[in-house]
Structure 1
Amino acid sequence: MSQTVAVLDIGKTNVKLSLFDQGRLLWEKSTSNRILPGPPYPHEDVDSAWAFFVGALSEAARAHEIGALVPTAHGAAGALIGASDLALPVMDYEFPEVEQIEPDYAKIRPPFSESLSPKLPAGLNLGRQLACQKWRCPDLFVQAKHFLTYPQYWAWRLTGVVASEITSLGAHTDLWEPRQGRASSLVKGLGIGGLIPPLRRAFDPLGPIKPDIAAATSLAPETQVFCGVHDSNASLLPYLISREGPFTLLSTGTWVILMCVGLSLGQLDALDDTLANVNVLGQPTACGRFMGGREYAVIAGDGGNPDLAAIERVIASGAMALPCFSGQGGPYARTKGVIRGEVAARDRTALATLYCALISDLMLTRMGATNGDLIIEGTFAGNLVFCQALGTLRPKQRVFAAQDAAGTARGAAMLAHWPPAYPIAAPTPVPAVSIAGLGAYRDAWTARINLIAR
């Protein structure tokens, strides 16, 4: 059987198919992830995504012999499936009206001490989505036979096999107890225990693709599908198996996820949007999150990355971006972002870079992540000044950049040959620089945000 692995990567913004052979990217194709307006609520356009994957697999199979498929997806979506199809649409986690159920949901939500899952806006807590679907769409909900977290929904479409998996169940869903390794009290409170399939490991094969998919894509009928993984945990995999803790991975894209391996869970605080995810080995991992990619885009405008001179101009000007520019994620999600002072249009990217570095530094400090290397992967790894600013702010920690746009998918591909026998590429050390005035700028910025009520 071929060693080539195809990864179905379902993000908030894009869906992508990538092919890897022993960690080497062979082929990829992506398209936008669409949200449909409803009824009964805004939801993922799973049929368009599925059509894309079938077409992309067919195209890729003409050039490469594919031996395995692995799905990975974000952690704020799940699928209620009936006898043969969705019982309800897959809710868009940014649907704000889900918060209307909060008074009732608060009565059954587990305390943070149990779930280590903070109260998040809209549908970012998957448990709140389920409660909304059950209480607002009872006629459809009663048709559900199984509840699948999002990677496992795509595995089910490929194989017809239902499974649960801990990295997705443990991703700020309110449905899991990370310390105990079991379902939280919310599962009983919602009466959904019978909908959750047995646990499988992310690297477990679920079976071969269904015959109709083999026929539609020209894949071999014996092509294996693996259970799949939460996307941030996929990004963590190369480092989880190649280095000892403590270390921190900043997985950056639409969201910045700070994953602190080897860190105590004792300083996690629901008000800071810090939480525990669960890695593929079942170990709780202290995490923080903010919507850094989206906030960067709002502040920067046209985008791009700044140079060091632009950073120093902004620092000298005293202009500051104060949180929050996305309305979700991080310690100040409920406050409205504002820019204080004057900043030239050409320096907006520098202002955005400083903002994201300062928020990252603040969250790491509050979590107690003061030791070990900092590894930056994803979008911000290509922003050298972001990496250098974070290193200047945290001089006792070494900073590395993994400039790999396919990092999440590459990590997911490892699951098809777990543990991988091939060498793992090391991230690149970021040279330390001196950024004039950054320490005083941080002090002034911190003083201002300390006036913001959380």
Structure 2
Amino acid sequence: MRCIAVLDIGKTNKKIFLIDEHYRIVRESGTTFPETTDEDGDPCENITLLTAWVKESLCELVRLPEYTVVAINFSTYGASMVYLDEEGQVLAPLYNYLKPYPAGMQEQLCEGSGGLEQVCSDTASPALGSLNAGLQLYRIKQTRPALFEKIRYALHLPQYVSFLVTGQPLADITSIGCHTMLWDFARQRYHEWVVREGLADKFAAVFPGNRVLPASIAGKNYMAGVGLHDSSAALIPYLSSFSAPFALISTGTWCITLNPFNDSPLTPAELASDCLCYLTYENRPVKAARLFAGNEHEQQVKRLAEYYQTPVNYYQQVVFDPAIFAQLLVVSPQQETPVPGMGLLQASRFAERSMTDFASYEIAYHRLMMDIMEQQQFSASLVITGTPVKRIFVDGGFSRNTVYMHLLAAAFPHMEVYAASVAQATAVGAALAIHRHWNTQPLPADLVEMRHYSHGSIYI
């Protein structure tokens, strides 16, 4: 069976898939690693364990007698870089994108480029400290100059994983264009501050995401992609399947609303509200709004479990209840203290609520999801309003959450709202990006499974 192997490396779960020519997942395995710490004691990914797992997993896969692996591609989380010396050896920890950023350093960087607001606008990147991958390298230059001098290549994480099998250090536009503060969207090149500060010299040549390279595993030759940023990869099955304008809410730790049909420049207000642009592997801008809602959900369900003495995953048994919704709607967010727009993005109202207000876990959970939906509605509207989009697809964890999905349909009554599932959209997207190089079959018509949620069905 001809297959492509895709490594899909998330912050928590590391997975490897075999995908056949009909885009069916025929084999899947995964693992998690304990974190380690960097030189400051901050938690970070263990790059040594990750490297060993990549090599061992691929060697194991290509030896399976029932599959013929013909190609490999990679998708990983973004805002993470691996620093290599002249010999291709790793020089530094894989710093966590949540690592605290030195006060004043990003403002200092932008002084010669019209100020922070101007650079954010040019690079379609909110000022996010370590979440701006370019600022991670700038911090090394400022605080660890000896290390900076030794760095020959600063590779984004997907391209480091590709490098492990191709031996070729390269860059990819989906990683460069993802809130890195590196890429000048108007001029289609690295921003002038990147060149001025000598960072551009540390980056490898850009390689197209839809082309392949020769790769060697266990003495055999394969084709390999350059790797993709996971949010951009997850969009590919939808862009391959639908031509009518849509927005995709990709849900996980972050809930990211991606609108490939919004090409208006980012405004300062949008940047301040955590909007940004991604780039597709075909170099098209995708306007996006980010919300840390998956993380908020994770924290609050722990609180619920503790109070109601239930398992942490008890919420998975809660189904949407129109009666509870109607009961809670009596005290709607609009009747509560208004929260200014940016405040809505910081934390949901639920963090301030008392558990004693709720007679049951189910009622409390509905309230939590209504509070999260208030945030989600504000965030998604930032990139959907005023565009031709009439359909919203949701993939990831919340697409299987009936409470979230019914509330989303109510929040956007004039949209068609779908729980859309592409089994492992990120991995399938990475396979689709290099389809023409490994797959002898036409693109399947049924890549995306959809379930429609009507806003009318939630009222009793």
TM range (shorter): 0.7 to 0.9
Shift of 1:317: 6.8
Q: Distance in 1 between matches of 2:229 and 2:103?
A: 24
Shift of 1:148: 1.3
Instruction: Please identify, of 32-41 and 251-260, the stretch whose mean Cα deviation from structure 2 is larger.
Output: 32-41
What TM-score do you get using the length of structure 2 for normalisation?
Answer: 0.84
SS at structure 1 position matched to 2:346: coil
Q: Distance in 2 between matches of 1:317 and 1:369?
A: 27
Shift of 1:314: 6.4
Q: Distance in 2 between matches of 1:111 and 1:275?
A: 13
Aligned counterpart, 2:452: 430
Aligned counterpart, 1:138: 145
Whether the 8 Å CA contact 1:203–1:228 is kept in 2: the answer is no
Q: Distance in 1 between matches of 2:197 and 2:207?
A: 22
SS at structure 2 position matched to 1:222: strand
2:89 corresponds to which of 66, 85, 102 = 85
Q: Distance in 1 between matches of 2:328 and 2:155?
A: 47
Aligned counterpart, 1:72: 75
> What runs of 5+ residues in structure 1 fail to find an aligned partner?
216-220, 324-328, 439-454
Whether the 8 Å CA contact 1:354–1:389 is kept in 2: the answer is yes
Shift of 1:337: 6.8
Q: Tell me the alpha carbon deviations over residues 85-130 of structure 1, each in whole angstroms, 9 at most, x when there is no partner.
A: 122222111111445634433435552321111111x411112111
Whether the 8 Å CA contact 2:83–2:91 is kept in 1: the answer is yes
Does residue 136 of structure 2 align to residue 129 of structure 1? yes
1:410 corresponds to which of 428, 433, 438 = 428
1:188 corresponds to which of 186, 195, 198 = 195
Whether the 8 Å CA contact 1:88–1:141 is kept in 2: the answer is no
Aligned counterpart, 2:307: none
Q: How does 1:179-258 map to 2 (within 5 A)?
A: 179-209=186-216, 213-215=217-219, 221-258=220-257
Percentage of identical aligned residues: 25
Q: Distance in 2 between matches of 1:187 and 1:334?
A: 33
CA spacing shift, 1:33–1:314, aligned 2, 3 Å: farther
2:68 maps to a residue whose letter is E
Aligned counterpart, 1:20: 19
What TM-score do you get using the length of structure 1 for normalisation?
Answer: 0.85
Q: Distance in 2 between matches of 1:315 and 1:147?
A: 51
CA spacing shift, 1:56–1:320, aligned 2, 3 Å: farther
Q: Distance in 2 between matches of 1:315 and 1:435?
A: 17
Aligned counterpart, 1:159: 166
Q: Distance in 1 between matches of 2:416 and 2:176?
A: 32
Q: Distance in 2 between matches of 1:131 and 1:264?
A: 29
Whether the 8 Å CA contact 2:213–2:226 is kept in 1: the answer is yes
Q: Distance in 2 between matches of 1:422 and 1:368?
A: 28
Shift of 1:55: 3.0
Q: Distance in 1 between matches of 2:327 and 2:13?
A: 32
Instruction: Please identify, of 193-202 and 348-357, the stretch whose mean Cα deviation from structure 2 is larger.
Output: 348-357
CA spacing shift, 1:80–1:314, aligned 2, 3 Å: farther
Q: Distance in 2 between matches of 1:361 and 1:105?
A: 34
CA spacing shift, 1:87–1:50, aligned 2, 3 Å: closer
Does residue 411 of structure 2 align to residue 393 of structure 1? yes
1:149 corresponds to which of 142, 151, 156 = 156
> What's the C-alpha RMSD, in Å, of the aligned pairs?
2.8
Shift of 1:33: 4.3
Q: Tell me the alpha carbon deviations over residues 162-207 of structure 1, each in whole angstroms, 9 at most, x when there is no partner.
A: 1111111000000012233211123123211211121111122122
2:391 corresponds to which of 365, 368, 373 = 373
Shift of 1:237: 0.2
Whether the 8 Å CA contact 2:237–2:422 is kept in 1: the answer is no
Aligned counterpart, 2:259: 260
Instruction: Please identify, of 127-136 and 32-41, the stretch whose mean Cα deviation from structure 2 is larger.
Output: 32-41
Q: How does 1:95-106 map to 2 (within 5 A)?
A: 95-99=99-103, 101-106=105-110
SS at structure 1 position matched to 2:90: coil
CA spacing shift, 1:187–1:106, aligned 2, 3 Å: closer
2:319 corresponds to which of 307, 318, 340 = 307
Number of residue equivalences: 423
Q: Tell me the alpha carbon deviations over residues 1-58 of structure 1, each in whole angstroms, 9 at most, x when there is no partner.
A: x631111111112211111112110111111244311225543212211222233333
Shift of 1:416: 2.9
1:105 maps to a residue whose letter is L
Does residue 377 of structure 2 align to residue 361 of structure 1? yes
Q: Which has the higher helix share?
A: 2
Instruction: Please identify, of 390-399 and 428-437, the stretch whose mean Cα deviation from structure 2 is larger.
Output: 428-437
1:381 maps to a residue whose letter is S
Aligned counterpart, 1:445: none
CA spacing shift, 1:179–1:241, aligned 2, 3 Å: farther
Q: Tell me the alpha carbon deviations over residues 286-341 of structure 1, each in whole angstroms, 9 at most, x when there is no partner.
A: 10111221111112222434322275166247487999xxxxx9963389973335
1:85 maps to a residue whose letter is Q
Shift of 1:65: 2.1
2:301 maps to a residue whose letter is A
Instruction: Please identify, of 108-117 and 182-191, the stretch whose mean Cα deviation from structure 2 is larger.
Output: 108-117
